[in-house]
Protein backbone atom coordinates (compact mmCIF):
# COMPACT_ATOMS: atom_id res chain seq x y z
CA UNK A 1 0.00 0.00 0.00
CA UNK A 2 1.62 3.27 -1.08
CA UNK A 3 1.11 6.68 0.47
CA UNK A 4 -1.69 7.77 -1.83
CA UNK A 5 -3.59 4.50 -1.31
CA UNK A 6 -3.17 4.73 2.44
CA UNK A 7 -4.28 8.37 2.56
CA UNK A 8 -7.39 7.55 0.57
CA UNK A 9 -8.13 4.53 2.76
CA UNK A 10 -7.59 6.58 5.92
CA UNK A 11 -9.69 9.60 4.94
CA UNK A 12 -12.53 7.50 3.58
CA UNK A 13 -12.81 5.13 6.53
CA UNK A 14 -11.72 6.98 9.66
CA UNK A 15 -15.11 8.41 10.60
CA UNK A 16 -16.96 5.21 9.78
CA UNK A 17 -14.60 2.97 11.76
CA UNK A 18 -14.61 5.40 14.69
CA UNK A 19 -18.39 5.30 14.73
CA UNK A 20 -18.33 1.51 14.66
CA UNK A 21 -15.81 1.28 17.49
CA UNK A 22 -17.83 3.88 19.40
CA UNK A 23 -20.82 1.58 19.11
CA UNK A 24 -18.69 -1.33 20.25
CA UNK A 25 -17.21 0.28 23.35
CA UNK A 26 -19.63 3.05 24.20
CA UNK A 27 -17.05 5.81 24.56
CA UNK A 28 -16.59 8.15 21.61
CA UNK A 29 -13.38 9.82 22.78
CA UNK A 30 -11.75 6.48 23.55
CA UNK A 31 -12.94 5.15 20.19
CA UNK A 32 -11.33 8.03 18.31
CA UNK A 33 -8.05 7.64 20.20
CA UNK A 34 -7.91 3.90 19.59
CA UNK A 35 -8.85 4.19 15.92
CA UNK A 36 -6.21 6.87 15.46
CA UNK A 37 -3.63 4.60 17.08
CA UNK A 38 -4.81 1.69 14.92
CA UNK A 39 -4.21 3.71 11.73
CA UNK A 40 -0.72 4.66 12.91
CA UNK A 41 -0.03 0.96 13.44
CA UNK A 42 -1.60 0.20 10.07
CA UNK A 43 0.93 2.43 8.32
CA UNK A 44 3.75 1.06 10.47
CA UNK A 45 2.71 -2.45 9.42
CA UNK A 46 1.52 -1.60 5.92
CA UNK A 47 2.96 -4.82 4.56
CA UNK A 48 0.47 -6.77 6.68
CA UNK A 49 -2.28 -4.34 5.74
CA UNK A 50 -1.60 -4.84 2.04
CA UNK A 51 -1.90 -8.60 2.49
CA UNK A 52 -5.04 -8.38 4.60
CA UNK A 53 -8.23 -9.33 2.82
CA UNK A 54 -10.23 -6.72 4.66
CA UNK A 55 -8.04 -3.76 5.68
CA UNK A 56 -10.90 -1.92 7.35
CA UNK A 57 -11.63 -4.99 9.48
CA UNK A 58 -7.93 -5.12 10.39
CA UNK A 59 -8.06 -1.51 11.61
CA UNK A 60 -11.38 -1.98 13.42
CA UNK A 61 -10.19 -5.14 15.18
CA UNK A 62 -6.92 -3.49 16.16
CA UNK A 63 -8.76 -0.45 17.53
CA UNK A 64 -11.24 -2.60 19.41
CA UNK A 65 -8.50 -4.73 20.97
CA UNK A 66 -6.63 -1.58 21.95
CA UNK A 67 -9.73 -0.22 23.61
CA UNK A 68 -10.45 -3.44 25.48
CA UNK A 69 -6.82 -3.83 26.48
CA UNK A 70 -6.62 -0.27 27.77
CA UNK A 71 -9.94 -0.58 29.58
CA UNK A 72 -8.98 -3.77 31.31
CA UNK A 73 -5.55 -2.45 32.18
CA UNK A 74 -6.70 0.83 33.66
CA UNK A 75 -10.22 -0.17 34.74
CA UNK A 76 -11.75 2.93 33.30
CA UNK A 77 -15.09 3.61 34.84
CA UNK A 78 -17.73 5.59 32.97
CA UNK A 79 -16.28 9.04 32.48
CA UNK A 80 -18.09 11.80 34.28
CA UNK A 81 -20.48 13.60 31.97
CA UNK A 82 -18.68 16.89 32.40
CA UNK A 83 -15.52 15.39 30.87
CA UNK A 84 -17.13 14.19 27.69
CA UNK A 85 -18.05 16.24 24.68
CA UNK A 86 -21.41 14.66 24.95
CA UNK A 87 -23.56 14.60 21.85
CA UNK A 88 -26.52 14.49 24.23
CA UNK A 89 -26.06 18.22 24.73
CA UNK A 90 -27.33 18.63 21.21
CA UNK A 91 -31.06 18.22 21.17
CA UNK A 92 -31.77 17.21 17.59
CA UNK A 93 -34.14 14.27 17.27
CA UNK A 94 -31.63 12.05 15.45
CA UNK A 95 -29.07 12.58 18.20
CA UNK A 96 -31.59 11.50 20.81
CA UNK A 97 -32.11 8.27 18.89
CA UNK A 98 -28.40 7.72 18.56
CA UNK A 99 -27.93 8.35 22.27
CA UNK A 100 -30.69 5.86 23.07
CA UNK A 101 -29.21 3.21 20.78
CA UNK A 102 -25.72 3.70 22.17
CA UNK A 103 -26.98 3.56 25.74
CA UNK A 104 -28.92 0.40 25.00
CA UNK A 105 -25.93 -1.24 23.32
CA UNK A 106 -23.81 -0.43 26.36
CA UNK A 107 -26.18 -2.45 28.52
CA UNK A 108 -25.72 -5.61 26.49
CA UNK A 109 -23.07 -8.26 27.17
CA UNK A 110 -19.91 -7.46 25.23
CA UNK A 111 -20.20 -10.46 22.90
CA UNK A 112 -23.81 -9.69 21.97
CA UNK A 113 -23.03 -6.02 21.43
CA UNK A 114 -20.06 -6.86 19.23
CA UNK A 115 -22.08 -9.32 17.14
CA UNK A 116 -24.95 -6.84 16.66
CA UNK A 117 -22.67 -3.94 15.74
CA UNK A 118 -20.57 -5.95 13.30
CA UNK A 119 -23.59 -7.56 11.63
CA UNK A 120 -26.15 -4.75 11.59
CA UNK A 121 -24.01 -1.64 11.71
CA UNK A 122 -20.87 -2.75 9.89
CA UNK A 123 -22.95 -4.87 7.53
CA UNK A 124 -20.79 -7.99 7.88
CA UNK A 125 -22.18 -11.43 7.11
CA UNK A 126 -22.46 -13.95 9.91
CA UNK A 127 -19.44 -15.72 8.46
CA UNK A 128 -17.41 -12.51 8.44
CA UNK A 129 -18.47 -11.70 12.00
CA UNK A 130 -17.41 -15.19 13.09
CA UNK A 131 -14.04 -14.68 11.46
CA UNK A 132 -13.52 -11.26 13.03
CA UNK A 133 -14.46 -12.28 16.57
CA UNK A 134 -12.94 -15.75 16.37
CA UNK A 135 -16.08 -17.69 17.25
CA UNK A 136 -18.10 -20.40 15.49
CA UNK A 137 -20.94 -19.20 13.26
CA UNK A 138 -23.49 -20.97 15.45
CA UNK A 139 -22.32 -19.01 18.45
CA UNK A 140 -22.53 -15.76 16.50
CA UNK A 141 -26.10 -16.54 15.44
CA UNK A 142 -27.07 -17.27 19.04
CA UNK A 143 -25.53 -14.00 20.20
CA UNK A 144 -27.35 -12.09 17.46
CA UNK A 145 -30.65 -13.66 18.42
CA UNK A 146 -30.23 -12.98 22.12
CA UNK A 147 -28.83 -9.52 21.43
CA UNK A 148 -31.77 -8.50 19.23
CA UNK A 149 -34.21 -9.65 21.90
CA UNK A 150 -32.33 -7.81 24.61
CA UNK A 151 -32.05 -4.62 22.55
CA UNK A 152 -35.74 -4.69 21.77
CA UNK A 153 -36.58 -5.17 25.42
CA UNK A 154 -34.46 -2.21 26.42
CA UNK A 155 -35.66 0.15 23.69
CA UNK A 156 -39.31 -0.72 23.24
CA UNK A 157 -41.33 2.13 24.79
CA UNK A 158 -43.28 0.92 27.81
CA UNK A 159 -46.57 2.41 26.57
CA UNK A 160 -46.28 0.26 23.47
CA UNK A 161 -46.60 -2.85 25.61
CA UNK A 162 -48.65 -1.87 28.63
CA UNK A 163 -49.91 1.67 29.03
CA UNK A 164 -50.46 1.07 32.71
CA UNK A 165 -46.96 -0.26 33.43
CA UNK A 166 -44.62 1.55 35.78
CA UNK A 167 -40.87 1.59 35.63
CA UNK A 168 -39.28 -0.91 37.94
Distances (CA, A) of 7 to 21, 31, 43, 142: 20, 20, 10, 38
Q: What string marks each residue from 8 to 37 as x (binds other proteins by CB under 8 A) or -?
A: --xx--xxx-xxx-xx----x---x---x-
78: contact with other proteins by CB under 8 A: no
Alpha-carbon distance of 71 to 77, in angstroms, equals: 8
Alpha helices in 45-123 (DSSP H): 46-51, 55-74, 93-106, 110-116
Alpha-carbon distance of 100 to 109, in angstroms, equals: 17
42: contact with other proteins by CB under 8 A: yes
Helix axes 28-44, 55-74, angle to 10 degrees: 120
Q: How many other C-beta atoms lie within 10 A of the C-beta of residue 92?
A: 9
151: contact with other proteins by CB under 8 A: yes
Residues in region 84-123 near other proteins by CB under 8 A: 85, 87, 90, 94, 97-98, 101, 104-105, 109-112, 116-117, 120-121, 123
The nearest distance, CB 106 to other proteins, in angstroms, is 12
- What is the contact surface with other proteins in residues (CB under 8 A)? 3, 6-7, 10-11, 14-16, 18-20, 22-23, 28, 32, 36, 39-44, 46, 51, 65, 68-69, 71-72, 75, 85, 87, 90, 94, 97-98, 101, 104-105, 109-112, 116-117, 120-121, 123, 130-131, 133-137, 139, 143, 146, 148, 151-152, 154-157, 160
Amino acid sequence: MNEAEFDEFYTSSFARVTGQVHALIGDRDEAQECVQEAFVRAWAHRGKLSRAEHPEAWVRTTAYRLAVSRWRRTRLARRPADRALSPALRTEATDETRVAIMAALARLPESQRRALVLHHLCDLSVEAVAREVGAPEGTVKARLSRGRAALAAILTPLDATDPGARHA
